[in-house]
Amino acid sequence: MSRAFVSDDALENSVAVVPPRAPLPDGVPNYVTPRGLQRLRDERAALEAERAAVEANRRGSDTDRARRLSALNQQVAELTARLRSAKLVQPDPARQDVRFGATVEVEHADGTRRTYRIVGVDEADAADGCIAFTSPLARALTGKREGETTTLDTPQRAERLVVVAVRYA
pTM (two decimals): 0.81
Question: CATH says 26-88 is which class?
Answer: mainly alpha
Strands 86-88 and 102-107: unpaired
> Where along the chain do the CATH 3.10.50.30 domains lie?
102-168
User: Which residue type does 23 have?
Assistant: P
Residue 30 near residue 86, CB atoms below 8 Å: yes
- pLDDT tens-digit readout, 92-138: 999 999 999 999 999 999 999 999 999 999 999 999 999 999 999 99
Tell me the CA distances in angstroms from 50 to 53, 71, 80, one per residue in order: 5, 11, 15
Q: What angle do CA 42, 48, 51 make, to 5 degrees?
A: 145
User: Which residue type does 140 have?
Assistant: A
> Where along the chain do the CATH 1.10.287 domains lie?
26-88
What CATH number has the domain spanning 102-168? 3.10.50.30
